[in-house]
Structure 1
């Protein structure tokens, strides 16, 4: 009887979870801008995955006899000062930008989420120490903090992701802490304590999973901000070293020729704008879809 009841409860919880996901998807589908953003992101991901197939040229393939070519059938977005195909470099650059955005936000979510959960769950001195450190980091502008970290570690893809991720940790720590404080005294947490579960088990199994909704929304919006921050660092020479294609570095390289050859900065700029727009509208759509007040 006990096993049958446990199986029935498992099926019930699974059906309930599927029903909630379907509800979120149905509300998300009603937001046209969010769906447009989702479609754009799917296209960008596919472009990044199949860049070797889609790009007509290598990202570092030079043709010094055809420098500063304007957009044409041979070079859709024209060529740069070294005769490199801008269209191909933007396609390969999507890999770098998405990789930086996702991994940097992943670092911030994991570290910031854990610190926020610990601070909110234990309260007291632990909360004061962790959150005062977060307040100190928040008092420093995110771009300035990222610049300091990259300047200390050196220019590389890994250091760029670390810099952007570390500078975003306080935001996720505060979000998770606020969510943990609101749920740590609920009945299912008290029940877990009564059964003898350890604090870490309660945090990872019961508390953090119930804080995911605001974190998912913030992470979606944060990826766009991380891509913009990485592009800004590359623009001022603290990002990825050339000839690796990165949209911010492409903007920096083309700014000297912007009067005579505006296409050198136009297309990388459009790529950044479209990508950040897609993440922002999708994040807004997820926020509305995951809002419990809209479930009625």
Structure 2
């Protein structure tokens, strides 16, 4: 039986009572509602940009250049008369694509390394965790820069570099959880009853250890957005005129004196996405801790 915040979560299949409980749960957490709404808008912009704008992000009107934010152009226009809001909306697809690839790489590779190290143990654990220690000794952004320099420029290559740089944290969290679960009574009982190693791993260890790693993936999503945008800002992402968020911030820095919105509004979009992701991750972490 759950206690604490988890007990307030709405139960499914309860009709009106469930909807009422959900309403009370959300009313007590307006920050979480705002964060979820922000993430929903970002996802919609990434996959269905036509819902927000019908303009072409690559075509501008030179007669409309450097228009400030207003009713006609919510985020203003750039030096070529392109609508900045349209470019931010279409840039969500590139930035979100890179972020999802980065988190997926870190989750799969890091989770696999931690799972093997924690479950197998012995010299395998020693070798894998020394590799993880080497990765942890290098600052993530520096490692991403080194990797993307070796791999080359482009959105996917930036995503791979950011993902590999985040592998170590996933491996350590997964290993710690596997070590904890491996000593649980029901796992020992299953082992004593003659269950094979793959049954122990797939049915007992992995389902109980995966929760904190999923929460870490949600937290790392915000970090990956910042890392991908940072590398795009430095010129390692998609080539112009592709409207990646980091590229938009970089392109507007030369016009801050007379067109502050070109860097400020895409930068605020990045900040809002990261803050919303962190708020949702904290909520997931709290619910997972209450359920354990």
Which has the larger displacement, 198-207 or 242-251? 198-207
Q: What is residue 126 of structure 2 aligned with on the other side?
A: 128
CA RMSD, Structure 1 to Structure 2 (Å): 2.4
1:103 corresponding residue in structure 2: 101
Structure 1 counterpart of 2:58, from 43, 57, 60: 60
1:6 matched residue in structure 2:
none
Supply the distance in 2 between the matched residues of 1:24 and 1:178 (Cα, whole angstroms): 29
TM-score, scaled to structure 2: 0.88
- SS in structure 1 opposite 2:101? helix
Within-5 A mapping of 1:66-145 = 66-145=64-143
Distance 1:121 1:34 in 2: 36
Secondary structure of the residue aligned to 2:215 is helix
Quick check: 1:238 aligned with 2:236?
yes
Equivalent pair of 1:55/1:88 in contact (CA under 8 Å)? yes
Q: Which runs of 5+ in 1 are unaligned?
A: 1-15
Task: Say whether the 8 Å CA contact 2:235–2:247 is kept in structure 1.
Answer: yes
Provide the residue aligned with 1:162 in structure 2: 160
1:1-296 alignment, distance < 5 Å: 23=7, 25-26=9-10, 29=26, 30-292=28-290
SS at match of 2:166: helix
Runs of 5+ unmatched residues, structure 2: 11-21
Moved more, 254-263 or 186-195: 186-195
Contact 2:46 2:92 in 1 (8 A): yes
Show CA shifts across 1:54-112 (max 9, x none): 22311111222322221232222111122211000111111222222222111111111
Q: Is the 8 A contact 1:104 1:165 kept in 2?
A: yes
Aligned residue pair count: 278
Q: Offset of 1:136 from its aligned partner?
A: 0.3
CA contact (8 A) 1:101 1:223 kept: yes
- Residues of 1 paired with 2:77 and 2:145: CA distance? 30
Compared CA separation, residues 85 and 95, structure 1 to 2 (3 A)? same
Q: Distance in 2 between matches of 1:82 and 1:211?
A: 52
Greater Cα shift, 126-135 or 60-69: 60-69
| CA distance 1:132–1:34, change in 2 (3 Å) | same
